[in-house]
Structure 1
Amino acid sequence: MVALTSDDAGHGLAERTLVKIPRLGLVADRKRVGHTQESLAAALGLDVKTVRQWENGTYRPSTHFLEQRLAEELRITRRQLALRLDPPAENTPAPFADHEVDSEPTGCDVPSVSDRSRPVPELCSAGRNVIDWREVSSRPGSPAPSVVHSDIPQLRRVLDTRDLPEDGPVRSLSELMVAVDTVVARRLQSDYAVLAADVNELLPELHRAVLSAPSALEPQYAGLLARTYRAADAIADKFGYYDLSARIIDLMRTSATQSGDELLVGSAAYVRGEIYFASHDLEAGCRMLTAAADKIRVSASETAAATYGTLHMRAAVMAARAGSALRARDHIEEARQAARQVNEGVHLGTVFGLPSARIHQLSLDVELGDVGGALRLATGWAPPITMPAERRSHFYIDLGRAFHLADQPERVLSAFWEAKRIAPEHVREHSQVIDVVDHLELTTRGQLRDAFAGFAAGLVKPQGRSAFGP
C-alpha cells in the first residue's frame, strides 16, 4: 500500500506503510538537536503530518535522499537512522501505552495492528495488570539475531586504540555532554542495538578529546568518558562478553578517578559489582560495595545520598544471593533510608529512589525464597511509568520469578510478557528468564506448555551473563 501527502507528491516522495510502533529513538534524536516536529518538517520541506507519521510508526521515508536529509538534520549516521526506523523485530504485544509520542492523530494515519483501545488498569493485586498470556501465546516467530553482536569486534578495536585514536573532529564540551546524555538514556531504556552503534562512534572522539584537552578541562572529559564506558559495559555484560565487560569496567574506574569526582568513583564501584555477580564471588563483592559506600558522606548532597543508596541496594541483592538474609535486609534498609533523601530519578547514570529500592526489595525476597514477602510487596503497586524501561522490566521479571516459586505458571508467563513488552532487548537474553521458561516448558502441559514454548522461541541463549538493573 502506498500513500502520498501533498508535500510528498511535490517532491516525488512515496511513503510505505508499516506496523505502527512508535519510534521513540527518532523522537529523542529530534529533541536532542532542538527540533520540534514543525521545525523538522520545515527544514525538510515537508508537511508536519509526515514527520508525525514517521515518529508514530505509521510510515517511513521511502527514498535514500530523504533518509540522508533526515539523518543530517538529526546529526546521526545513516546506520543509526536505519536502526531508529527499523528496530529489531520482537513478537510482543503492546496493550498499554508505555510512552506517548508527541504527535496528534491525522486523517492520513493508518490504524495500527496493535491498537491500544483498553485503558491502563490499576494494579489491584500482584500481577493483575500484566498481559494475559492467552492473548499472545499463539503468536509465531523467532528472534532476529541482534545486531549488537556484530558491533562487538569494532568495540574491541576502539578500546585497543584508545591511546592512538584515528584522526577526526572533536566537538565542544557542551556538545559532547549532550551526546553522552543520549547514550546514557539509550542504556537506561535497553535500546542496545542503537546504543552499540552510538558508543562505537562516540568513544574514539572522547579518546581524542581526553588526549588533546587542556589540563584544566581534562577532568571533565574524563568524566564523560567514564559515563560512556559504562554504556559500553552494558552492551558487553548484557550480551555475555564478560572478558570485555571486566576490561571496560577497569577503564571506567580509571577514568572516574581521573575525573576527580568521588561520587563517580562510587558509581564505578556499583558497576564493578557485575564482575562479582559473574564470578559468584559474592562475599568479596559485598565487601567491595560496602567499602565504597563507607567513603561517601551521605548528607553532602542528593547525588551523594543516591550514590550511597545504590551501592547498598546492589549489596543487598548480592548478600541475598549469597544466602545471608540478615545482611541483605540491613543493606536494603540503608538503601531505603538514603532513598528518603532523594527524588526518584537518574543519579550519575543509575536509577534510584524509593520505587527503585522497592524493586530491589522484591529481588531480594525472591533470592531468599520469601515468596509471601515478594507477592505482598508487589500487590497494589506497579513501577511508575516515568521509570526507565530496564528497571521497570526488572520488576516484572522478578515478579515472574516469584510466581514461579509460588507454582503459578500462568502468572509467570503474563509477568514475563509484560517485562518483554517494556524492554524486549533486555528480556531476550536474560538468563533468569531463560532458566524459568526452560523449566516450565518441561513441566507444564497442554496449551500452557505450548505457550511457554512460544515464548522460549523468542529468547536467545547467551554463553552466560549476570547483573541486576541498570
Structure 2
Amino acid sequence: MRDRDTDVPTAGDGIGRRIARARKLRGLTQQQLADRVPCSKSLIAQVERGHKPATQALVAAVARTLRIEPGELTGQPYRDPAAREDRVHECVPEIRRALLAWDLPDEDLLPPSAELLRADVRRASALGRQAQYIRLGEMLPGLLDELTRAAHASEGARRDEIFGLLSEAYTGVTAIAYTLGYFDLRSSAMDRVAWAARASQDPLRVARTQWQRSTLFLATATYDRGLALLGQVRRDIGEDLGRMTPAELSVYGAAHLRSAIFAARAADRQTAFDHIEHAREAARVLGRDANHYGLEFGPSNVSMHEVAVAVEMYDGGEAVRRAQNVTLPATVAPVRRGHHYIDLARGWLYHGDRQKSLEMLFAARRVAPQQTRNHPMVHETVRMLVDLERRRPHTLSGFARWLGMP
C-alpha cells in the first residue's frame, strides 16, 4: 500500500514533512523506516502527518537510519535575515577562523596577563549561563586568539592554567554551535575542547570534556557508546561519595544525569530513573547547587532532569506530576531554566493541555529568548499547537511569527 500524501504542509515545513521527504528519496515505506529505527509504523505515520510531535530521540534515530545530518530534519540553522535576533549567526564565520588558528598564534603580539584572561573567561562563561549568545559570539573570536597566544607562550603551571581557560572558552563555541544547529562546528569545537583540556593536566577537566563529548553520541542516537563513555567517567572518579571533593561530586552527578537522558531516549525507563536517583544522592552530599566546570550540578538540576526524562519518553502525565515538585531558586542559570520550560512545554502538550504548553513557551522566551528561538523542539511544539488550535489565539500566532514560522 502507498503511504498517504505527506507533502502538503500545514504550519510550515516541519520535521514530519522532512522525514517523509527524506524517507521517500531513499525509497523506503513507513514500515521499512520504522523497522530500521526501530519504532512503530504508527509513530512514523503520525509524525509525518503532523498528528504527533517528533522528539529529539526520533529525529536522531531517523537521521542515523537515513544517513543524513539531524539539521536536514529540524531545518536548522534557522535563518531570518530580516529579524534582529538573527544577528547571532553573524559571529559564526569569525569563530570558525579562530578555531582554524588553534596552533598558529600571532607571535607579533604580546599575550594579555593571566589575570585579564581569567576575568574575560569568567565573563564569557556568564554570558553562556545567561544564554546571551549574540554577545558571547561577538566576544569569543578575540578571546580565543588571546588565549591561544598566551597558551603557546607560557610554561609550567601558568601554561596549564591558560589551557584550562582555553578549554572553557572553546566550550562557549560548542554552546553556540549546539543552540544554532551548526553540527559540524560543534564537532570541531569539541575536538579543540578535548585538546586544551588534556594540555591543562587537570583530570577532572578531561572528565568533564568526556561528559561533554557524550552529547555527540546523543545527537547521533549512538546510545550504547554514549552510556559506555559516561560509565567510564564515573568509574574514573570512583563510587565513594563521602571521599569526593565538591568538584568530583559535580562531575560524577552530571554523568548520571546525562546517562538518564541516554536511557530515556533508549526507552529504558527503569535505568533512566535509577540514574536520576544516583544523581540525587550525589546532590544531597554536595548539599547545594554548584557550577564546577560549568556543569550547573545540584538539587535543582536533578529535579529538572526528572521532568526531562519523562518528556523524552512521551510521558506527559509523569512530566507534569514530577514538575509539581520542582521549585527553582533565583540562582538557577537562565540557560538551564529556559531549557526546563521548553521541556515542560512539551510535557504539557503530551499531557493534552495546550494552554499550559504555550505558557511554558512564553516563560522560556522571557528567561532565554535566543535559546528559545533557535530550539528545534520549540518550533515543533509551536507547529503542533498551531495545527491543533482551530481558533488560534493571538498569542500563539504572535509567538509563531517571532520564531520566523510562515
Q: TM-score, normalised by structure 2?
A: 0.76
User: How much does 1:460 deviate?
Assistant: 4.9
Q: Percent sequence identity over matched residues? A: 32
2:258 equivalent to 1:314:
yes
Which of residues 353, 362, 386 is equivalent to 1:417?
Answer: 362
1:306 and 1:313 map into 2 onto residues whose CA distance is: 10
Counterpart in 2 of 1:406? 351
2:106 equivalent to 1:162:
no
Alignment of 1:219-238 (within 5 A): 219-238=160-179
Partner of 2:397, secondary structure, is helix
Partner of 2:92, secondary structure, is helix
2:293 and 2:95 map into 1 onto residues whose CA distance is: 23
Q: Are the counterparts in 2 of residues 253 and 265 from structure 1 also a CA contact under 8 Å?
A: yes
Counterpart in 2 of 1:368? 313
Alignment of 1:10-409 (within 5 A): 143-166=83-106, 167-297=108-238, 298=241, 299-342=243-286, 343-379=288-324, 381-409=326-354
Counterpart in 1 of 2:403? 459
Counterpart in 2 of 1:72? none
Partner of 2:156, secondary structure, is coil
The alignment's C-alpha RMSD in Å is 1.6
User: How much does 1:180 deviate?
Assistant: 0.8
Tell me the amino acid that sits aligned with residue 327 of structure 1: T
User: How much does 1:380 deviate?
Assistant: 5.3
Q: Are the counterparts in 2 of residues 383 and 395 from structure 1 also a CA contact under 8 Å?
A: no
1:146 and 1:246 map into 2 onto residues whose CA distance is: 22
Which structure 1 residue ranges, 4+ long, deviate > 4 Å from structure 2? Answer: none
Aligned length: 319
2:217 and 2:404 map into 1 onto residues whose CA distance is: 23
Q: Are the counterparts in 2 of residues 365 and 373 from structure 1 also a CA contact under 8 Å?
A: yes
Tell me the amino acid that sits aligned with residue 433 of structure 1: V
Q: Are the counterparts in 1 of residues 272 and 309 from structure 2 also a CA contact under 8 Å?
A: yes
2:404 and 2:203 map into 1 onto residues whose CA distance is: 38
User: How much does 1:355 deviate?
Assistant: 0.9
1:216 and 1:263 map into 2 onto residues whose CA distance is: 16
2:175 and 2:369 map into 1 onto residues whose CA distance is: 15
Which consecutive residues of structure 1, in runs of 5 or more, have no partner in the other structure? 1-141, 462-470
1:402 and 1:311 map into 2 onto residues whose CA distance is: 24
User: How much does 1:143 deviate?
Assistant: 4.2
2:218 and 2:402 map into 1 onto residues whose CA distance is: 25
User: How much does 1:241 deviate?
Assistant: 0.9
Q: Write out per-residue CA displacement over residues 260-308 of structure 1, whole angstroms, 9 at most, x where no aligned residue.
A: 1111111111211221222121222121112112111342301100110
Q: Are the counterparts in 1 of residues 341 and 364 from structure 2 also a CA contact under 8 Å?
A: yes
Query: How has the CA–CA distance of structure 1 residues 339 and 460 changed in structure 2, closer, same or farther, with 3 Å as cutoff?
Result: farther
Q: Write out per-residue CA displacement over residues 321-374 of structure 1, whole angstroms, 9 at most, x where no aligned residue.
A: 121112211211111111112220211111010111000010001112333322
More helix by share: 2
Q: Are the counterparts in 1 of residues 304 and 326 from structure 2 also a CA contact under 8 Å?
A: no
Tell me the amino acid that sits aligned with residue 211 of structure 1: H
Q: Are the counterparts in 2 of residues 168 and 205 from structure 1 also a CA contact under 8 Å?
A: no
User: How much does 1:446 deviate?
Assistant: 0.9
2:296 and 2:135 map into 1 onto residues whose CA distance is: 21
2:157 and 2:315 map into 1 onto residues whose CA distance is: 52
Query: How has the CA–CA distance of structure 1 residues 360 and 381 changed in structure 2, closer, same or farther, with 3 Å as cutoff?
Result: closer
Q: Are the counterparts in 2 of residues 366 and 374 from structure 1 also a CA contact under 8 Å?
A: yes
Partner of 2:398, secondary structure, is helix
1:171 and 1:338 map into 2 onto residues whose CA distance is: 38
2:182 and 2:320 map into 1 onto residues whose CA distance is: 33
Q: Are the counterparts in 2 of residues 226 and 252 from structure 1 also a CA contact under 8 Å?
A: yes
1:193 and 1:417 map into 2 onto residues whose CA distance is: 20
1:315 and 1:460 map into 2 onto residues whose CA distance is: 34
Tell me the amino acid that sits aligned with residue 203 of structure 2: E
Q: Are the counterparts in 2 of residues 332 and 357 from structure 1 also a CA contact under 8 Å?
A: yes
Alignment of 1:417-436 (within 5 A): 417-436=362-381
2:292 and 2:161 map into 1 onto residues whose CA distance is: 17
2:224 and 2:83 map into 1 onto residues whose CA distance is: 37
Q: TM-score, normalised by structure 1?
A: 0.66
